[in-house]
Amino acid sequence: MERMGLCIQLKPDVVEEYKRLHAAAWPEVLDAIRSANIANYSIFLKEPENLLFAYWEYMGSDFAADSARMAEHEHMQAWWRICEPMQHPFATRRPGEWWARMDEVFHTG
């Protein structure tokens, strides 16, 4: 299992819509996430900065392949078409990232 943390900014004019959308996440999107071996997926919002922090546990052995398969899912693509315009990615993110991947610096279990 690998813990992963990611962050992105949320545009200020869509905060309530983003919350509403995620309060009723589509079952097909949730299934696609689980199919990609992702568990315990959470998104946190820090206002007023509108910083989104995502956390999940990757249970598989090939994250790139699982991510690619999830990206092919039609409902996931539709979900991203709605969510991505609401987000403002960091200029410092790594090539190929939308959400910026964070390095784990501490964990206690």
* C-alpha closest to that of 56 among 34, 78, 27: 34
Q: How large is the C-alpha radius of gyration of the chain? A: 14
Which residue among the candidates 22, 75, 88, 107 is catalytic per the annotation? Answer: 22
Residue 14: how many other CB atoms lie within 10 Å = 16
Asked if residue 99 lies in contact with residue 54, where contact means CB atoms within 8 angstroms, the answer is: yes
Task: Enumerate residues 6+ apart whose C-beta is below 8 A from 64.
Answer: none
- Retrieve residue 76's tokens: 């996931």
Q: Is 88 a catalytic residue?
A: no
Give catalytic residue positions. 22
